[in-house]
Amino acid sequence: MDAFEKYYLDFVNEVPNEILTFGVYQTYPNTPGIDAVAWLRADVPENGFSGVSFAKTYCVVNANYDNPEAKGRYASCQVLDTTLGTSWEIVEKNGVAQFNDKHVGDSNDDDLIVIKNLSRSIASLGVGMSGKLAAIKKRVYVGATAAFKINPIYYVGIFADLEVGTV
């Protein structure tokens, strides 16, 4: 697959009198201990259609967990483009945990993205595609590393109410 080729998913709603929300998730079976989050979504009106598109471009994410209206979801606070096989660090700059300006090296595995937490606080670190968070490792302690073996399996679900970033 070409990394810059665009992919499309189309959804059809044949249910009368209902708007359906389709959520797209990625899971990484070779990366235990991570949560998949709603990565893409499309609202489809009754007797209508809609879709989503994405490119296989990767990103690293320093995320915040928030709980608006008692629905937990991860909101990205910093997203940087990356490539597979890279290693990153979260550091403390001016009192804020954030990524170094660029990746710090290779991960020694072409399908692996590694993020080390060198900040002064516990972090929620993730990876995504097309600039959006797809998978999160929560509670990465200071000095610990989150490693993501990138071999996604894609899932689609139908929801009554869904926000991007919801586990």
**Cβ 126 vs Cβ 150: under 8 Å:** no
Residue 93: inside a domain:
yes
Mean pLDDT across the chain, nearest whole number? 86
> Looking at the 3D structure of the chain, how many domains does it have?
1
Residue 167: inside a domain:
no
pLDDT greater than 80 at residue 4: no
Residue 159 pLDDT: 81
pLDDT in tens, 65-87: 655 554 556 666 899 999 999 99
Residue 164: inside a domain:
no
pLDDT in tens, 104-121: 877 778 889 999 999 999
Q: DSSP code of 166? A: B
Residue 76: inside a domain:
yes
Residue 165: inside a domain:
no
**Cβ 121 vs Cβ 96: under 8 Å:** no
Domain that holds residue 110: 6-159
pLDDT in tens, 16-74: 998 999 989 898 888 888 988 888 989 999 999 999 999 989 999 998 765 555 455 66
The model carries a pTM of 0.84
Strands 123-129, 153-159: parallel, antiparallel or unpaired by DSSP? unpaired
Residue 102: inside a domain:
yes
Give, in order, the Cα–Cα distances in Å from 165 to each of 23, 54, 91, 110, 129. Answer: 10, 16, 23, 26, 13
